[in-house]
Amino acid sequence: MLEKFNLQKFFLILLVCFLIYFIYSIKEVLIPFYLAIIASYVLQIQVNYLQKYIKKRSLATTFVCVIIVSFITVIVISVIPIALKQSIVLIKHIPGYVDYLIETLSLQDVLVDLKQNIKDLDVNNDLYKYITAITANIFNTIWISGLKLLTIMVYCVLVPVLTFYITHDWNIIIQKLSILVPAKHKNMIFTYCTEIDNVLRKYIIGQLEICVLLGIYYSVLLSIFKLKYGLLLGMIVGILSFIPYVGTGIGFIFGNLISFYQFDSWVMVFYINMVLVTGQIFEGYFVTPKVMSNSVQLSPVWIMFSILAGAKFAGFIGVILAIPIAAIIRVTILFAFKRKF
């Protein structure tokens, strides 16, 4: 009997390891499913609330999905074209910013030495190799960009459809999964999952609110002070604000570089920096404490480590899932200690 039990445990562990390896090996294919599951998880509160009044879950799910898609469509139509236009203009002006940076940092002597070293090389041979490599890279970039564009277009169609069906069947999926849990462990696992759910829901919804608020704040104020690419810079800072100090750091670096290059007056540079500093104070002392309410309770060092580790193991989707997974690990460790002691 004992041998049979150990054999069952061995095969169960083997099956779990195989599933983990299989999921990791096809992680790129599962990206739209991950995004749809995250979106469905966030939308559960709204759908469950509407279901109390509409009764039919399909209608409640449809109504919520239509509202979300309409909101995203309005953003895409009204904001994205301006951001794209500013991106194109920014790319055209990058050489000017580089020249300004070189002149400001007095790098001319370094570049002269570099050019002299290049002249001392075998010009014909190196030039041929350089042109060949550049040509290959151009064709490779065009091919990869085309595939990425096609992938994004497929995601734009697939993710909303998957989100609708997963949201509609969410309660059924949870019920089916609960059947697999042994009866004697149901209360413990239910308590554990409830704690994780509270942490994750607060974090995801809170972080979305912070990103939107900061994106609006920086985009509006930088545009009011007529900073070039203010809308684009504000959107980037808002989106990256979930990574500690990264969004703010990018805002300060590029905000100051653009303002120094654009304005002759130190007063305008001071105003731009006041917007950035005020935004950091607004985020650190008002928005984040109010919205997040210490939901994750992880130090910035561990958050940054989690994001870097997630990016290493799973790329873009790893960055998205890094902090929630870190929060789950923290809840699991605390829950285990509570059960043991």
Separation between Cα atoms, residue 235 and residue 213, nearest integer Å = 10
* Cβ-based neighbours of 40, under 8 Å, separated by 6 or more: 163, 166, 167, 170
Name the residue with tokens 């203009």: 89
Kindly state whether residues 176 and 190 are assigned to the same domain. no
225, 196: one domain? yes
Asked if residue 171 and residue 61 are part of one domain, the reply reads: yes
Does residue 322 fall inside a structural domain? no
Pair 202, 292: CB distance under 8 Å: yes
253 in the same domain as 207 = yes
pLDDT tens for each residue of 142-179: 555 556 666 777 777 888 888 888 888 888 888 888 88
Range of the domain at 200: 181-295
Verify that 185 and 153 share a domain, yes or no. Answer: no
* Burial readout 45-69 (b: 16 or more C-beta within 10 A, e: otherwise): ebbeebbeeeeebeebbbebbeebe
Residue appearing with tokens 């696992």: 189
Q: Check whether residue 195 and residue 242 sit in a common domain.
A: yes
> What's the pTM value of the predicted model, to 2 decimals?
0.64
Total count of domains within the chain: 2
pLDDT value of residue 124: 47
If asked whether residues 163 and 186 sit together in one domain, one would say no
| Digit-coded pLDDT (tens) for 181-196 | 777 777 888 888 888 8
